[in-house]
Structure formats: C-alpha cells, structure tokens
C-alpha cells in the first residue's frame, strides 16, 4: 500500500478492536495489526473481569482471543493480523505448530507469531511448508533474522514477517533502530520473501525513522499513531535525522543468507525474557 508516497505499511500494535476502529478513523487507513498475550491482557474487557476477581479458563481465554482477532480482521479484511501462539521455555515445536495451525483457521488474513528460537523456527519452517503465513517475533540480532530467512525459503513474498524489537534494545542502551537498518541491508542481498516489521516501537522517532529507512512495516501503539496523525502523518525521506548519541551503535555484520538455518546463532537472552513475559501475562489470566 502507498499513502502519500510512503511504501511502509502501518500496523497498530493492540489487543483492543476499539483502538482499531479509532485509528482507522484517525488515520483514514490501517494496513494491519499485531497482537500478543500482553496486549490481550490489557484489553479493557479483560481488565474489568480481573478487577472483579474473575479469571478465565483455558477455553474461555482462547475464545476471547479468537473473538478479538476475528473482530479486528473484519475491520481490516485486506490487511494482516498477527496472532501469537502460547509459548514458554518448555513448549515444544509440535505444540507451537499445532497451536499455530489452529489459530491460522480463525481468520483468512492471519500471520502466526512464533518466537525466534530453534523450536519456533522449526515450527515456522513446517508452517510455511503448509502455506501458512508467519511472523517471527522477539528478534534481537542479525543472525536471528538470517535464520528466519533461511528457515522460510519456500514462502512467497508477504507470507513471512521478521520483527526486530527496537524498544527493548534501547532499554539496555543499544540503538535498536540500527538492527532494523542492518537487517534491511542484509536482506537486500536476498530474494525479498521476508518483510521487515519494526516492532517494540516506543516513540514517534522510532516510527518516523522506520519509514525513512524503508522498513516494510512498522507496528506502533495507539498513542504513537495518534500523535503521528496529529502531526499530519508526515512521511520522512532518507535525510531524516535520528540522533541517539546516548545509545551504543550496533555495527553491521556481513552475514550470508545461504546457510542452513540451524547453523546461525539463534539464542538471545532478550528472546528468553520476552517469552517469559508473554507467557506470564497469559498465565495470569487463567485460573
């Protein structure tokens, strides 16, 4: 989609269909939405229930998530909706894959989110082999992004997203936007079957610089998209200045995309922490 010369697709990062409706009205468009267990936990209906001291059964929370996803899908039928599988440190590849396969049937425009671990990458490889669309989440290094590329070679363009989490790198003093820039450069040597989705967006600067870099997609919270709209949905060019002298730069690494995916260095401590956080938020909803 191209709005005012902008090629980057804009997604909302939210588990609340009310925000989907409002952002569509405010922006005049919306290209997709990303969801995850933490965002579902923040849904106002969930919060009201928890305030009453009521939790969900496993069946109830999955039904609630399914209803949210289906409502969002109906609002952006021509966009993408990312739906995240439950995963903790002990979740097997088969469990992730079967969970993802079931979720892919919820809506026709789903991208199934798997964590970028060995188990998640194997589930993704199996999924794209069946024609499913995937979004590999909790990416913090170029090597992880290279592994995503290699594990999904059979996929068509648009069927695979890779989601570098820029805000969480910023949190520990690294320039997360450097990772986006580096992945885009690395992927420029490939077949373009994987799209880069800038995630964990914390500021309007993150959004604007992602657009300036040419990130295929950027997913941002409601407040940031609203702020962008209030400032005229400016589309910055390559000259956009993103100066973060307080953050350590992440250098580019010339990594080949031609190796088997399991040979890349996949493990990252922030991926582990992200899995712990998402699973804890989900488990806190369940009796």
- pLDDT, residue 4, reads 57
- The CATH number linked to 263 is 3.20.20.70
109 within a domain of the structure (yes/no): yes
89 within a domain of the structure (yes/no): yes
128 within a domain of the structure (yes/no): yes
Which phi and psi angles does 48 have, rounded to 5°? -65, -40
Token pair recorded at residue 275: 């899995």
201 within a domain of the structure (yes/no): yes
220 within a domain of the structure (yes/no): yes
> What pTM was computed for the model?
0.95
112 within a domain of the structure (yes/no): yes
* Nearest-angstrom CA–CA distance, 184 and 197: 10
3 within a domain of the structure (yes/no): no
pLDDT in tens, 65-117: 999 999 999 999 999 999 999 999 999 999 999 999 999 999 999 999 999 99
Number of folded domains that form the chain:
1
Residue 8, burial from CB neighbour count under 10 angstroms (0-12, 13-18, 19+): buried
Strand partners, 56: 286
* Nearest-angstrom CA–CA distance, 82 and 109: 8
- pLDDT, residue 5, reads 64
Residues acting as catalytic residues: 113
3-state DSSP assignment of residue 167: helix
Q: Which of 156, 158, 87, 157 is nearest to 123 (CA)?
A: 87
Strand partners, 83: 112
1 within a domain of the structure (yes/no): no
Reading phi first (left if > 0) and then psi (alpha if -120 to 50, else beta), residue 17 is in: alpha
Q: What is the CA radius of gyration of the chain?
A: 18
Range of the domain at 23: 9-283
pLDDT in tens, 27-75: 999 999 999 989 999 999 999 999 999 999 999 999 999 999 999 999 9
């Amino acid at each position: 989609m191209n709005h005012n010369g902008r090629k980057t697709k804009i997604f909302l990062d939210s588990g609340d269909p009310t925000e989907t409706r409002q952002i569509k009205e405010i922006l005049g468009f919306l290209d997709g939405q990303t969801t995850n267990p933490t965002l579902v936990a923040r849904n106002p209906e969930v919060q009201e229930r928890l305030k009453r001291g009521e939790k969900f059964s496993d069946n109830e929370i999955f039904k609630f998530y399914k209803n949210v996803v289906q409502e969002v899908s109906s609002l952006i039928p021509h966009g993408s909706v990312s739906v995240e599988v439950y995963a903790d440190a002990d979740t097997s590849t088969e469990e992730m894959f079967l969970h993802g396969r079931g979720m892919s049937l919820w809506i026709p425009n789903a991208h199934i989110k798997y964590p970028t671990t060995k188990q998640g990458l194997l589930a993704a490889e199996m999924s794209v082999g069946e024609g499913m669309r995937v979004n590999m989440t909790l990416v913090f290094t170029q090597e992880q992004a290279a592994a995503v590329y290699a594990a999904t070679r059979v996929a068509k363009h648009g069927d695979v997203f890779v989601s570098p989490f820029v805000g969480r790198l910023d949190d520990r003093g690294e320039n997360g936007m450097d990772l986006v820039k580096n992945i885009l450069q690395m992927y420029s040597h490939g077949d373009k079957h994987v799209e880069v989705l800038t995630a964990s967006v914390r500021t309007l600067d993150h959004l604007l610089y992602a657009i300036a870099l040419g990130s295929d997609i950027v997913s941002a919270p409601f407040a940031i998209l609203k702020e962008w709209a209030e400032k005229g949905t400016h589309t910055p060019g390559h000259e956009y200045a993103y100066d973060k002298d307080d953050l350590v730069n992440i250098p580019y690494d010339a990594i080949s995309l031609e190796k088997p995916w399991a040979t890349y260095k996949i493990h990252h401590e922030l991926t582990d922490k992200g899995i712990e956080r998402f699973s804890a938020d989900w488990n806190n909803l369940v009796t």
